[in-house]
Amino acid sequence: MTENRLIVTKRTYTLSLIVFSVFCSFTLGSLEYHFVDLSKNYEEAKSYCREMYTDLATVPNAEHMRNIIALVSHKTARAWIGLESRGVWMWHWSLIDQNTDFFKWRSGEPQGNNQDSCAAMDLNGEWFESDCRTERNFVCQNNGDTSGHIFVAEAKSWRNAQSHCRDLSSDLVSIHSAEENTAVQNVSASQNVWIGLFRDPWIWSDGSNSSFRFWKSSQPNYRSGQNCTAAVFRDGGRWNDLRCSGRRDFVCYGARKSTPATANSRSTTAATFATNYTTTLTPLPMTSSEEVGETSDFYVSTDEPTTTTEVFTTTAETSATGPTAPSTTQLESLAWSTDLSEATAKTPDATATQPGFTVSVSTETASASATHMKHKGQNTTQVTGHIRHSGSVILIQKNMTWIEAMSYCREHHVDLVHVTTEGLQEEVAERAKHATSAHVWLGLRYTCKFNFWFWIRSVPGCFQNWAPGHGPGREYDCGASGAAEATGRQQWVGLPETEKLNFLCSLCAG
């Protein structure tokens, strides 16, 4: 099995390059893509990506797609990416990270059919639903001044209009107030025009908000069971909806996670898995085993030069000896949950346009391995400040952003915790009391595009524990994520993802 990787840089930095053996490490705002020529169905590919990297590939814009094409096109005909359908049809703006917080539908609109559709503005400034293949003039967004929106008097389909605007380093116009709506109406030259609103059921596996789409002509066609997406490189990398059971190569994103060596080894550097995250570039091609099923030992030194931490990792249940070895062999079974409301819980093909509900957008991660730690020497403090109890949740007393916390949990445990039952909430409350921050991150994410909260794994249930003034009844800024209070009743709140907090990881996968 060969893995090829590509780093797509979002912005320019002056890089300091530090060389350790054959690895080059550097930190920058980027996405790192990895092509994996290992034939798997969609769910298996997603589990693999989450175990080895971060997730199946998310594609935020055309530049990233071009780089994926450059990486993969000469290696395979088709490859899975992380776009999947959950049967919930949502309106969202072409311009990424935009709230659907204002609508100006004319009477009888939208029509509510469960099919791809796009929105246009009529002569009176009211919106109507239309077949996206219809050709009409359109308005591009002027990102600096709403009075300077660009009217394009060239009839195109909605997708072609979108491409035209993006070629101008813009996008189809998004509208968030009556004033903005009037501004678009004023530049539309008394014609029906495309605006940037469209509806589909597709969402990214990692829960991100990208509205970028790169479908083949006449795709997606929504044939029965075609709920997963592959890039078709013989067709220029354009996307096709396919049955999730098909087996093909795939593309992951994120830095490669640390994995145990197959033989004993020692590191002379301090443990780094609790410090700032970096992306890592290794020589191409690279060979790696698909799974490690044997128990293996490795050593990392802690911040104390006289103390060594010995870490035993296995994919099976084990027992550990010695008075300081915590037990994780009798983990509670989690009853995972999906929805936090009843809006879509029993309606697989529901259309949801109103705020105030929560749905799940991803599926199970790879099964977790049980980890046992014991310490040699006088210092018995674990490297990352773990507070481990018997049970299914561990508190990490390390302040990280929500994204960093999610990556850490997926690398070292299973995932950020999903609180789906009252029993789990009680366990979370007990762990949170020991936090060194005012709140602790949970595996709860808000999408400002669709205006709902969701657990980052597909899990059944509808338990909620929101603090007053928080939750589905309130709108948040893009990037909001869920946290539990460390004091009081340990209720949930929405906070900016950039806040650095302690966090709770799950210790078992299901």
Judge if 118 and 37 occupy the same domain: no
Number of structural domains (the chain) is 3
Cα–Cα distances (Å) from 367 to 14, 44, 151, 188, in that order, read 39, 11, 52, 54
CA-to-CA distance for 331 and 417, rounded, in angstroms?
14
Cβ-contact 239, 215 below 8 angstroms = yes
Residue 262 belongs to a domain: no
Residue ending a domain, choose from 171, 202, 233:
202
Judge if 105 and 75 occupy the same domain: no
Judge if 477 and 343 occupy the same domain: yes
Instruction: Return the ∠ at Cα 59 (arms to 171 and 4), rounded to 5°.
Output: 145
Cβ-contact 358, 453 below 8 angstroms = yes
Judge if 113 and 159 occupy the same domain: yes
CA-to-CA distance for 489 and 88, rounded, in angstroms?
33
Residue 372 belongs to a domain: yes
Judge if 22 and 107 occupy the same domain: no
- Among 275, 259, 481, which residue's Cα sits nearest to residue 396? 275
Residue 480 belongs to a domain: yes
- Among 191, 193, 244, 237, which residue's Cα sits nearest to residue 213? 237
CA-to-CA distance for 114 and 125, rounded, in angstroms?
25
- What CATH number does residue 71 fall under? 3.10.100.10
Residue 304 belongs to a domain: no
- The 10 Å CB-count burial string (b at 16+, else e) for 52-65 is bbbbbbbbbbeebb
- The pTM (predicted TM-score) of the whole model is 0.48
Judge if 381 and 345 occupy the same domain: yes
Judge if 31 and 135 occupy the same domain: no
Residuewise pLDDT in 10s, the chain (510 residues): 555 655 443 333 333 333 222 222 222 235 789 999 999 999 999 999 999 999 999 998 888 999 899 889 889 999 999 999 988 888 889 987 677 789 999 999 998 777 889 999 999 999 999 999 999 999 999 865 555 789 999 999 998 999 899 888 889 999 999 999 999 999 998 899 999 999 999 999 988 878 888 999 888 988 888 999 999 999 999 999 999 999 999 999 999 887 533 333 333 222 222 223 233 332 333 333 333 322 222 222 223 333 333 333 333 333 333 333 333 222 222 222 333 433 333 333 333 333 332 333 333 333 333 233 333 333 333 334 444 445 789 999 999 999 899 989 988 898 999 998 999 999 999 999 998 888 999 999 998 777 888 888 766 668 899 998 898 888 888 889 999 998 888 999 999 988 899 999 998 765
* Cβ count within 10 A of residue 29: 10
Residue 277 belongs to a domain: no
Judge if 75 and 30 occupy the same domain: yes
Pull the structure tokens for residue 128: 């109507």
- Among 92, 127, 91, 123, which residue's Cα sits nearest to residue 108? 127
Contacts of 236 (CB under 8 A, 6+ apart): 69
Judge if 194 and 340 occupy the same domain: no
Judge if 172 and 227 occupy the same domain: no
DSSP state of 147: G
Q: Work out the burial of residue 201: count CB atoms within 10 Å of its CB; fewer than 13 is exposed, 13-18 middle, 19 or more buried.
A: buried
Pull the structure tokens for residue 230: 């592959």
Contacts of 101 (CB under 8 A, 6+ apart): 176, 451, 475
Residue 308 belongs to a domain: no
Pull the structure tokens for residue 272: 């780094």
Residue 28 belongs to a domain: yes
Pull the structure tokens for residue 182: 């009037």
For residue 130, what are the domain limits?
95-202
Judge if 32 and 155 occupy the same domain: no
Judge if 192 and 223 occupy the same domain: no
Residue with structure tokens 């209009």?
161
Cβ-contact 280, 76 below 8 angstroms = no
Residue 259 belongs to a domain: no
DSSP state of 105: B
